[in-house]
Structure 1
Amino acid sequence: MEISLPFEIKVADSYWARLKGLLFYKKPFTDEGLLITRCKSVHMFFMRFPIDVVFLDHSNKVVRAIPNLKPWKVVPPIPNADSALELPIGTIVKNHITEGDTIKL
């Protein structure tokens, strides 16, 4: 299934933007997402709130969906992942995102 998300997706494609991610957000975001390119794993060090994370392959097909990833957790490298889409908590459940879906960006 192809899924369109109802908010803006920012792209982190430089070294610094990918490293920073959502690190300096003080409160949960609700109306945007962050696509981290060239990313097979994420960490939640120093994060202040949980998020949903969707790992995508080169064609934006979901290879792993992780709801409610809490601060200080680490997701090891995901095979076949090309990017990570960090989303507001609850997005995966609300939009019924599952492995094999395609995210329209």
Structure 2
Amino acid sequence: MEIIRKNIKYEVPIDLKFYNTFWKRFKGLMFKVKPLKQEGIIILPCNSIHMFFMFFSIDVIFINDEQRVLKTVNHLKPWRVVTPVRGAVAAIELPKGTIQKYDIQPNDEIHY
């Protein structure tokens, strides 16, 4: 995954998998016991998420159709909900602490 900010590319060593079918989007990370490590998922299309039946916290990035960050959510805990994000077409679920570690901010461009 790459972050582009002010025409400068930053590599983020995280392997992303696409969850773009009904069943993959429906299940997401539910019931996964071990926290994410150097991996994440892109749920497409998606403009909101829930953390029901989750066993660990994650970071979430919502992006628009230009792959620009609209909203970041740090350390989202199990049994929480993120309401719809206007303009979002995808949610990227990442290991807890990723947003802070790589200083991911609104308007950054995400390439996967």
Report the TM-score when normalising by structure 2.
0.90
Q: Does 1:103 align with 2:100?
A: no
**Greater than 6 Å deviation, 4+ residue runs:** none
Q: Does 1:21 align with 2:28?
A: yes
Deviation at 1:24, TM superposition (A): 2.5
Q: Does 1:50 align with 2:57?
A: yes
Gaps of 5+ in 2: none
In the alignment, which residue of structure 1 is the partner of 2:14? Answer: 7
Over 3 Å counting, the alpha-carbon distance change for 1:3 and 1:16 in structure 2 is: farther
- Picking from 57, 81, 95, the partner of 1:74 is 81
Gaps of 5+ in 1: none
Residue identity (%): 43
In the alignment, which residue of structure 2 is the partner of 1:62? Answer: 69
Aligned residues: 105
Deviation at 1:5, TM superposition (A): 2.2
CA separation in 1, counterparts of 2:30 and 2:95? 14
CA separation in 2, counterparts of 1:74 and 1:4? 29
Over 3 Å counting, the alpha-carbon distance change for 1:103 and 1:4 in structure 2 is: farther
Task: Give deviations 1:5-33, integer Å, cap 9, x for gaps.
Answer: 21210000000000111113111011101
Instruction: Give the SS at the match of 1:34.
Output: strand
CA RMSD in angstroms, aligned pairs only: 0.9
In the alignment, which residue of structure 1 is the partner of 2:99? Answer: 92
Report the TM-score when normalising by structure 1.
0.96
Over 3 Å counting, the alpha-carbon distance change for 1:37 and 1:3 in structure 2 is: farther
CA separation in 1, counterparts of 2:88 and 2:10? 18
